[in-house]
Amino acid sequence: MTELVPARPRQRVGAGPIPWLGALLGLYLTVPVAAFVIESLGSHNRGFSTPGLLGALYVSVTTATISMAVIALFGIPLAYALARGRSRLRSVIGAAVQLPLAIPPLMSGIVLISVLGPDTPVGRAFGGRLSETMIGIVLAQTFVSAPFLVVTARAAFGEVDSSVLEHAASLGHRELARFLRVALPLAAPGIRAGLLLSWLRAFGEYGATVVLAYHPYSLPVFTFVEFSSRGIPATRAPTLLALGAAAVIGVAGWAAPSRLGRRRAVANPAPERHQAARPIAAPAFARAAGFPVTFDLDAAFGTFHLKVAHRAGATRLAVLGASGSGKSLTLRCLAGFFGPSVGPVHYGERPVEKLAPEARRIGYVPQGLGLFPNLTVAQHLAFGVGARPELVEHWLGTLRLEGLEDRRPGELSGGQRQRVALAQALARAPDLLLLDEPFSALDAPIRAELRYELRRLQRATGIATVLVTHDPVEAAILADEIVVLDGGRVVQAGPRRSVFAAPAGPTVAGLLGIGNLNPGRVTAPGTIEAAGVRLAADTAGVPVGARVRWCVRREHVELGAGPISATVTDVIDLGDRAEVLLEFDGLQLRALGDLDNDLTPGEVVAVGFPGSAVLLWPDPTPAPAAR
């Protein structure tokens, strides 16, 4: 049985000034209320028998509830629209919505009566029923209390990660479904707080109500009438009723999520199960017909310009590049998140740039995984449009998620969350699998395991794959064709073997993990000079005297023989081999050697490598000025 632990241990608040300041405000807010209640309970004349008291309470509770329902119906979609877009019109609307917060309620009533009063065109159109009725009370309460919901709900929707909504789109859900099934549940705590504030504000509204709808009496208006005619003793009963109603609603609103949190204690993350992966046999569904992806993207994102084109010849493609090179933007363009303006995209021979993401039948695993914190593992796998029960069961077993069906993402380890994201994308049998740095946040053993798991999956299902990564080993394992990006441009593309064997330049060599990059100069055909040492190299196409950048893989560097006399600066034990760091006349080299070579830092050793192992390119940087 899994041990249950509290979701988050509470931290002890220190005895600094912050708790004292909070305590002072808390006392100021609670002491007057408590004193009033105690004094009223001890009084013999509290006014509960006053005619019209319960009717006024009924009017306030009913109209406040109707107002809250109206505000919820229109205010939640408005808050969502304001949170999900950035335009001048939305900014103007957002500012206008908050105006009722800035003007006194009495003035709000004057504004409303000038538009909805019985002598106005709108009022006459409704037969004068917009004032001096319960409808008028609802209109007044809605006007002054709606901003409380819109402001809090807008902030709650703004906290919903846009990548989660994109992920829902990639699973086939349209805009309305994404709003109802993703954004609304994730923003629910903020929306609940906004609805609570709106109800309380509507229930206690006096200024706008007394101007627009003096009759029938709401509880605040009734209290004012009693106070004006009979003094404070007659107001004790309505004030106590108002405090009681507010307390009941407040406790009910805030206690509901607390009870939910206590009911669902968070379990310790389930430990990774390191049993051998199951063979990925095709279940009762057809093997995917993989297709190459072709694209010609040209789009600006702020100051960054992405211009990437490639016609793939293989069904498994990797987009390789450093951080900020445009890899993730390229993948999101292929998924359709930026619309057709980015340029043509073809899945095989099928143009898809005009299709919305939900219509492209893709499986998308974003860099942050895009999991929904409110869904269990089983709900995640069934969430995609068209997810089939037999596929859900298949991927639960194949990706070793059995027994975790009732857990939520916060109760899983990193490797398990990665498997859930992958299984969710596959459970709807997509035509194309898009992976954005899928294993970058995982520990090395789990990362290596999942790489080969995904490779087996690719070969078993035949699914077309586009992988974004900065890891050349990952690209080599999971792709047959590689596109290398730098600064939003393609610097090299082609089959995996040709890219690794002949990098197009020093930047590509660095991205491919080929180290030992150093400057040199061509002194003769087939010869370069580096730090005064002449080395054999293939200099075809590079004129004599040209400055070059050259490199050699560390596994090709031979220790104990060669023209270079280098000093050992460090020896790193890698477990099965040793990495030896070398320096000669300011140039750096790394070599792989046996653990029993007995080299020590400070020792001078002969170093060499075959000329066929040297990769070189003309150096575009200008030569240093002569002194």
pLDDT for 300-333, tens place per residue?
998 999 999 999 888 999 999 998 899 999 999 9
Same domain, 161 and 299: no
Residue 285 lies in a domain: no
CATH number for the domain that contains residue 434: 3.40.50.300
Same domain, 481 and 542: no
Residue 337: what pLDDT?
93
Same domain, 440 and 584: no
Residue 492 lies in a domain: yes
Q: Is residue 260 pLDDT above 50, yes or no?
A: no
pTM reported for the whole predicted model: 0.79
Q: Is residue 614 pLDDT above 60, yes or no?
A: yes
For residue range 569-589, what is the model confidence (pLDDT) as tens digits? 999 888 788 899 999 888 889
Q: Is residue 2 pLDDT above 50, yes or no?
A: no
Residue 389: what pLDDT?
87
Same domain, 486 and 542: no
Q: What is the DSSP string of 253-265?
A: HHHHHHHHHHHSP
Contact 294, 345 (CB under 8 A): yes
Q: Pick the last residue of a domain from 454, 469, 501.
A: 501
pLDDT band at 186 (very low <50, low <70, confident <90, very high): very high
User: For residue 486, what are the contacts with CB-CB under 8 A and spacing of at least 6?
Assistant: 321, 322, 325, 507, 508, 511
Angle between helices 236-263 and 17-41 (to 10 degrees): 130
Q: Is residue 402 pLDDT above 90, yes or no?
A: no
Percent share of the chain, pLDDT over 70 = 90
pLDDT band at 4 (very low <50, low <70, confident <90, very high): very low
Q: Pick the last residue of a domain from 460, 479, 501.
A: 501
User: For residue 281, what are the contacts with CB-CB under 8 A and spacing of at least 6?
Assistant: 460
Least confident of 74-88, 249-263, 399-413, 572-586: 249-263
Q: Which of 467, 466, 459 has its CA nearest to residue 432?
A: 466
CATH number for the domain that contains residue 175: 1.10.3720.10
For residue 337, the tally of other CB atoms under 10 A from its CB is 20
Same domain, 417 and 491: yes
Q: Pick the last residue of a domain from 501, 532, 548.
A: 501
Q: Into how many domains does the chain fold?
A: 3
Q: Is residue 267 pLDDT above 60, yes or no?
A: no
Q: How far apart, in Å, do the first and last CA atoms of the chain sit?
A: 77
Range of the domain at 539: 515-618
DSSP E strands: which ranges in 241-379? 266-267, 293-301, 304-311, 316-321, 345-347, 350-351, 362-365
Residue 625: what pLDDT?
52
Same domain, 495 and 519: no
Same domain, 527 and 475: no
Contact 564, 608 (CB under 8 A): yes
The pairing of beta strand 578-584 with beta strand 481-486: unpaired
Q: Is residue 6 pLDDT above 50, yes or no?
A: no
Same domain, 126 and 177: yes
Residue 508 lies in a domain: no
For residue 318, the tally of other CB atoms under 10 A from its CB is 27
Backbone torsions φ then ψ of 589, nearest 5 degrees: -140, 150
Count Cβ atoms within 10 A of the Cβ of residue 128 and give its class: 0-12 exposed, 13-18 middle, 19 or more buried. Answer: middle
Stretch 123-145: mean pLDDT, rounded? 93
Beta bridge partners of 534: 529
CA 86 to chain centre: 18
Stretch 92-114: mean pLDDT, rounded? 91
DSSP 8-class letter at 217:
P
Which residue has tokens 């299984």? 423
Contact 360, 352 (CB under 8 A): yes
For residue range 523-541, what is the model confidence (pLDDT) as tens digits? 999 999 998 889 999 888 8
Residue 254: what pLDDT?
66
Beta bridge partners of 311: 294
Stretch 388-400: mean pLDDT, rounded? 85
Q: Which of 229, 239, 205 has its CA nearest to residue 40?
A: 239
Q: b/e per residue, 131-160, with b = 16+ CB within 10 A?
A: bbbbbbbbbbbbbbbbbbbbbbbbebbeeb
CATH number for the domain that contains residue 563: 2.40.50.140
Same domain, 496 and 529: no
The pairing of beta strand 432-436 with beta strand 464-469: parallel
Residue 282: what pLDDT?
47
Q: Which of 562, 612, 564, 568 has its CA nearest to residue 590?
A: 568
Q: How far is CA 389 from CA 54, 74, 224, 361, 574, in A?
A: 56, 37, 63, 17, 46
The half-sphere exposure of 250 on its side-chain side, counting CA atoms within 13 A, is: 10
Start-end of H helices in 352-505: 377-383, 389-398, 414-426, 444-461, 472-478, 496-501
For residue 313, the tally of other CB atoms under 10 A from its CB is 12
Residue 85: what pLDDT?
76
Residue 31 lies in a domain: no
For residue range 469-522, what is the model confidence (pLDDT) as tens digits? 999 999 999 999 999 999 999 999 999 999 998 898 888 998 898 888 889 999
Radius of gyration over every alpha carbon of the chain, rounded to an integer in angstroms: 35
User: At 107, which helix (H) or strand (E)?
Assistant: helix 105-116
* Tokens standing for residue 559: 């220790």
Residue 507 lies in a domain: no
* Tokens standing for residue 139: 């209109």
Number of helices (H) and strands (E) in the chain: give both, helices first: 22, 21
Residue 17: what pLDDT?
80
Same domain, 299 and 361: yes
Same domain, 390 and 309: yes
Q: How far apart are CA 177 and CA 377, in angstroms?
A: 20
Residue 319: what pLDDT?
95
Contact 611, 535 (CB under 8 A): yes
For residue range 455-467, what is the model confidence (pLDDT) as tens digits? 888 888 888 999 9
Residue 399: what pLDDT?
82
Backbone torsions φ then ψ of 32, nearest 5 degrees: -60, -40
Stretch 215-239: mean pLDDT, rounded? 90
Same domain, 60 and 149: yes
Q: Which of 590, 589, 592, 556 has its CA nearest to residue 577?
A: 592
